[in-house]
Amino acid sequence: MMAPPMMDAERTMQFLFALRSKGVTDKRVLEAMEKVDRGLFVRGHFAGRAYEDLPLPIACGQTISQPGIVGLMTQALEVQPRDKVLEVGTGSGYQAAILSQLARRVYTVDRHRRLVMEAREVFDALDLTNVTTIVGDGSFGLPDQAPFDRIVVTAAAEDPPGPLLAQLRTGGIMVVPVGQSDTVQSLIKVTKTESGLEYEELAPVRFVPLVEGLGQD
């Protein structure tokens, strides 16, 4: 027999419990993640599993990241209310929606037009007016909007992309998964200081690769 659908409050409690058990303890991050309904960002077949701590397939052969990892990345970014944030890899739009709760403005770029359009629909439905969506190759950043206070890359690069490091302001933080695709990668936090770049390894992760150029759809 199928279990009855879980009540909203109970589902939310379990969702937050899973985040805490993964090390997401920052109150503002937990509040943002409580507010943004992940169910709106997962379409079709897997929508029913949106509240589980799992990555799930989205269109264009991409994935929406696991909530625990989204939480850890957001926490590591230490986003401040006045911050201008760049996200490379819009995907479903879930990470950008969470950042929109914490930052002044979020720019999110994806190489797949379809994903950007679908994410834009959800941002509009939620009235997230501080999110700007862009179709493009995000590995070059957005020179016109630079410098950024925070940059998050949600696809794995072999090294933190140079143009993105250049577009991070002094005192800024970038979080990026680094390593070959199809292997375990390392989530890295880069802090740009007066005297150079500081690197901290946060966790082993698995992300789809950062790919050059625009996608087919």
Which residues of the chain form contacts with ligand SAH (CB under 6 A)? 62-65, 88-89, 91-92, 94-95, 109-112, 115, 137-139, 154-155, 208, 210-211, 215
Q: How far is the CB of 10 from ligand SAH (least distance, A)?
A: 24
- Residue closer to ligand SAH (CB basis): 171 or 214: 214
d(CA 123, CA 143): 24
- With tokens 């002094």, the residue in question is 170
- Residue closer to ligand SAH (CB basis): 68 or 91: 91
User: Residue 86 pairs with which residues in a beta bridge?
Assistant: 107, 151
Told to judge if 65 belongs to the known catalytic residues of this protein, a careful annotator would answer yes
- Residue closer to ligand SAH (CB basis): 65 or 133: 65
- With tokens 């279990």, the residue in question is 3
| Catalytic residue of the set 21, 65, 100, 139 | 65
Kindly provide the b/e burial profile for residues 125-161, where b requires at least 16 CB atoms within 10 angstroms of the residue's own CB. Answer: ebebeebbbebbbbbebbeeebbbbbbbbbbbbeebb
Among the listed residues 78, 126, 72, 134, the one whose alpha carbon sits nearest the alpha carbon of residue 106? 134
Q: How far is the CB of 213 from ligand SAH (least distance, A)?
A: 7
User: Residue 178 pairs with which residues in a beta bridge?
Assistant: 157, 186
CA dihedral 41, 67, 73, 100 (to 10 degrees): 40
Q: How far is the CB of 18 from ligand SAH (least distance, A)?
A: 17
- Residue closer to ligand SAH (CB basis): 119 or 190: 119
- Residue closer to ligand SAH (CB basis): 171 or 204: 204
Question: Which residues lie below 8 Å from residue 119, measured CB to CB, with a gap of 6+?
Answer: 41, 90, 91, 92, 93, 96, 108, 110, 133
Active site residues: 65
